[in-house]
Amino acid sequence: MALSSSTAAHVVDTMAPEMAPRIVNPYPNKVIHADIRIQGVEEDRRQDGFPPQSDEPEPVVESKPSAADVEYQDRAAEMQNWWAEAMARNMDLPEGYSKVAVLLIKWAPELDELNTGDEARELDTLFRDRFHYETKIVELNVGKKPQHQLNNYVSEFICEHDGPDNLLIVYYTGHGVYDDRRKCLELTGSLKNNPLLHLGFRRNARATWNQAEDQLRREDVEGDVLTILDTCYSSNFVKSGRDGQKIFELLSACSIDQTTEAPGDNSYTRALIDAITVALDKEPEQPISTFRLFQDINRDSRRKDTPSQLWSRGKRTHYNEPHIFLAPLKSKKSNALHQPRHRPKPKGYLTLRFGLRDSSLSQEQIEFMTRLLSKAFGNKALVGLRRIDWMDIEPAPPTSHFERVASIMRVIAQWKRVITKKKRERESQQTSQRRVDEITFPHSTEVASDRRSPKRAHEGLDELPDAKRQYLDTAQPPSPPVSDS
């Protein structure tokens, strides 16, 4: 894990002749994990009883995201966290995991020249006391083959703690050696100044991490898995995983082809402990996502020279798929009367797309949406709803000139249809009213028609009697009647 430059040289000198190490220490003034690459150790592997490595991981190409991408991912992770919390609350879904277990792996004191014990025990206490997780520290030695010990520890851990609603956390701290030829990460101890060195045990103080992780990747492991590797080259062993329902992530202490620092103020484990502690002190009940831990650790000024990485070990179609959340479990006493509720695994997924006004959502908007969705799916037995996961939010593509013109034409056509419809409705109402008037008041309609047409109003005046005509003649006033007296 961590050696000074002089110590690293000593370890290289004592290695077997067939081992061709490559020393790359970009920070010579700092103590780093053992920076060793093994080019070919097939003979040693046969002598030590290691099986041949047949599954070669796919090559990994690490690209540096732009500042805009990093900012967008930060915002997306924050919105995803809000969504997970609000959905669990509004849909009455089980929050977090029913059970979380942690397995911490290190080398025995006689092989642990890095003195990783203090940090491992502090991390163990943090998970046990603040999160109420079940924890166990195991040590590898050379009494038996370390590979058999490692495989057995991981197998027993899975057997005891696996379940559909559980989370398995496996942590390793110590030296890391990467085999370029076999594409495998080997966990190594040191026998410096140890009497066992003279008994031929030196080359046995190593175990292949690939074999241990393969057990965690098996399809019959139902729980989600989080591995934390505080060792050099912990990002080199990254390959595509199998399709499955569980989430499998790796928090890595360093980038591809990079080393990491030894236990102390600048170590990855120290930054991890501090990041978790600060988050818990600020919001004790708030879940902490692995993405948030990854960000907080890399923002730590002590880790600026050795940035960590967050990897998905399963087949992930998008970087923003659900992450693992760490949240304190309720104490066993408070849960005595409430058994954990089983969360059946989904057998199908429905993907919908919502067109939104904004390119991102606030916490208040997300709370509103989850509350409405919970009401819409209140009768979950009808559709068998299991969960609603936040997958992604992305800005809409910019509108092209053709789309803008087409949009304007659609608006104009819609406006014309509305005007035409209103005109037809008005004419139809007038026609209906005339028909009603003709049926109900046949003469009044004729008079009303005369009032509307002056020409028709004066027709037939010549046919009126003389006595009445004089009152209708506007040219001269009518003569008064003649009296008999």
CATH number, position 321: 3.40.50.1460
Q: β-strands 175-179, 134-140: how paired? A: unpaired
Question: Tell me, what's the pLDDT at 391?
Answer: 77
Q: Is 393 part of a structural domain of the chain?
A: no
For residue 18, give the nearest of 176, 144, 181 by alpha carbon: 181
Taking the C-alpha atoms of residue 123 and residue 133, their distance in angstroms, rounded to an integer, is: 11
Residue 104 pairs with which residues in a beta bridge? 137, 171
Tokens representing residue 315 in the block: 């087949």
Question: Tell me, what's the pLDDT at 180?
Answer: 84
Q: Is 362 part of a structural domain of the chain?
A: no
Taking the C-alpha atoms of residue 117 and residue 138, their distance in angstroms, rounded to an integer, is: 11
Alpha carbon separation from 375 to 38, 82, 369 (Å, rounded): 59, 18, 10
For residue 206, give the nearest of 263, 150, 262, 268 by alpha carbon: 150
The set of residues, in sequence order, having a beta carbon less than 8 Å from that of 317 and lying 6+ positions away, is none
Produce one character per residue of 72-109: b if its CB has 16 or more CB atoms within 10 Å, e if not: beeebbbbbbbbbbbbbebbebebbbbbbbbbbbbbbe
Taking the C-alpha atoms of residue 357 and residue 369, their distance in angstroms, rounded to an integer, is: 14
Question: Tell me, what's the pLDDT at 27?
Answer: 43
Domain hosting 181: range is 96-193+200-329
Taking the C-alpha atoms of residue 325 and residue 223, their distance in angstroms, rounded to an integer, is: 13
Q: Is 167 part of a structural domain of the chain?
A: yes
The set of residues, in sequence order, having a beta carbon less than 8 Å from that of 321 and lying 6+ positions away, is 312, 389, 391
For residue 1, give the nearest of 257, 297, 201, 230 by alpha carbon: 230
Q: Is 254 part of a structural domain of the chain?
A: yes
Q: Is 447 part of a structural domain of the chain?
A: no
Question: Tell me, what's the pLDDT at 224?
Answer: 93
The set of residues, in sequence order, having a beta carbon less than 8 Å from that of 330 and lying 6+ positions away, is 132
Q: Is 294 part of a structural domain of the chain?
A: yes
Q: How many structural domains does the chain have?
A: 1
Question: Tell me, what's the pLDDT at 460?
Answer: 53
In order along its 485 residues, the chain shows pLDDT tens digits of: 444 434 443 433 444 333 333 334 444 444 444 444 444 444 444 444 545 544 444 444 445 556 777 677 777 877 877 787 787 777 665 557 889 999 999 999 989 989 999 999 999 999 999 999 999 999 999 989 999 999 999 999 999 999 988 999 999 999 998 888 888 899 998 756 555 555 555 557 899 999 999 999 998 999 999 999 999 988 887 654 555 568 899 999 998 888 888 999 999 999 999 999 999 999 887 888 898 899 899 999 998 888 898 988 765 544 456 788 898 987 654 443 334 445 566 778 788 888 888 888 898 998 898 888 888 876 566 777 777 878 778 777 776 777 778 878 888 888 888 899 888 888 888 888 887 777 776 665 555 555 555 555 555 555 555 555 555 555 555 556 555 54
Tokens representing residue 368 in the block: 């509103």
CB 8 within 8 A of CB 23: yes
Question: Tell me, what's the pLDDT at 122?
Answer: 97
Q: Is 312 part of a structural domain of the chain?
A: yes
Question: Tell me, what's the pLDDT at 437?
Answer: 72
The set of residues, in sequence order, having a beta carbon less than 8 Å from that of 210 and lying 6+ positions away, is 53, 55, 184, 185, 237
Q: Is 136 part of a structural domain of the chain?
A: yes
Write out the H or E segment, with its range, that includes residue 449. helix 442-452
Phi, psi of 434 (to 5 degrees): -60, -40
Question: Tell me, what's the pLDDT at 300?
Answer: 92
Residue 197 pairs with which residues in a beta bridge? none
